[in-house]
Amino acid sequence: MPDSTLRQLPVSQPRYHVVAQAIMNDIQAGRHPVGTLLPTEAEFCQQFNVSRHTVREAIRRLTEVGLVSAQVGVGTWVKAQRPATRYVQSSEGISDLFQFVNEVSLKLVGSREVVADAALSEALECRIGQKWFHMIG
């Protein structure tokens, strides 16, 4: 049985989060290498003693961060060993938004036009050959 079991992880978090974290740890440790299929939902249900819904939510979370990709009828394959980094700015209301606008500035230090190749088109979810304006600041 793999090292990642619910008994070793905190139970104060939602179960899907605990399962997602355990699977992510297994991916990062190389137990599920990039390009390979993950175990089935049923196998994860048995391994973690959770419902299919819990496993699906965990897989959905891993898909959102770019670690895995699920394909109906095929399975879920490992896409990356580390989560894709993304910057997200959230606010609690309009006053936070105005404060953000007043306090933040961006100094542009470079820019160029880029054409999406296969890798970039997948990352940006656009067509190959689409032009983008890349700004550095």
Q: Note the pLDDT tens digit of each residue in 89-133.
A: 667 788 887 888 888 888 889 899 999 998 888 888 889 999 998
Give the pLDDT confidence score for residue 8 in this predicted structure.
54
The string of DSSP letters for 68-85 reads EEEETTTEEEE--SSPPP
Whole-number Å distance between alpha carbons of 17 and 107: 38
**In the chain, domain spans:** 6-78, 100-136
Digit-coded pLDDT (tens) for 1-31: 445 555 555 557 899 999 999 999 999 999 9
Closest CA to 63 of 75, 53, 76, 72: 76
For 12, the enclosing helix (H) or strand (E) is none
Please tell me the predicted confidence (pLDDT) of residue 122.
83
CA angle, 135 then 122 then 70, to 5° = 140
CATH no. for 6-78? 1.10.10.10
What pLDDT is stored for residue 1 in this prediction?
Answer: 45
**35: confidence class by pLDDT, cuts 50, 70, 90:** very high
Segment 44-80, tens digit of pLDDT: 999 999 999 999 999 999 998 999 999 888 999 999 9
